[in-house]
Amino acid sequence: IWLTRHGQSDYNQHGRIGGDPELSPAGEEYAKHLAEFVRKNAPRDQEVAVWTSTLRRTIQTATKITRSPRTWRALDEIDAGVCDGMTYDQVRIEMPDVWAARSADKFRYRYPRGESYEDVIQRLDPVIIQLERQRSPTLVIAHQAVLRAIYAYLMDRPPSECPSISVPLHTVIQLTPTAYGCEEKRFALPPHVEDQGAGG
């Protein structure tokens, strides 16, 4: 199982939350490196299943690998509700109550008219069931909060740890199921970009 965030998006460059932006030029370049990584590391006799969210940035990241990834609405990024499109600095300054409540309990906090990490975990159930049934290599291209939740489940980490799990941009997390859980390897692919921390 390979987990990766989409390539850097226009919103990532400016630290904005959510939205449905296009990839930045660096994100487009990552899509090429990701395709090369998959070609190099996939078993020759097996086709790789590519799963994405319904948002443009994940589908664009998959295009160098497949024309028709399997899209799941359940893989869409955490819904930031009224904060969608804002930066964290804007939220802190313009909505101090929201900022304080979310800082106090990032796992259970639900954005106004949006979602919490708890909500994301619930909607991921069908995806995780399918993922556990997969017999061929599977590449999941999704978003920070979603991948944190999938990673926590597969690595048997408590759900409450989700918000603090590191899932950087332009990194492939390879999880190989073993008798006692999953063996993990991480691969940082070019180009290196600064992660503004937006998205979960």
Residue 22 bears catalytic tag:
no
Residue 41 bears catalytic tag:
no
Interatomic CA distance for residues 16 and 199, integer angstroms: 8
Interatomic CA distance for residues 24 and 64, integer angstroms: 15
Residue 12 bears catalytic tag:
yes
CB 75 within 8 A of CB 51: yes
Please return the burial class of 6, using the count of CB atoms within 10 Å of its CB with bins 0-12, 13-18 and 19+: buried
Please report, in angstroms and rounded to a whole number, the separation of the first and last CA atoms in the chain: 22
Residue 14 bears catalytic tag:
no
Residue 5 bears catalytic tag:
yes
Residue 6 bears catalytic tag:
yes
Token pair of 21 as six digits: 């932006």
Of 16, 102, 123, 143, the catalytic one is: 143
Of 57, 102, 123, 148, the catalytic one is: 57
Annotated active-site positions, please? 5-6, 12, 57, 77, 143
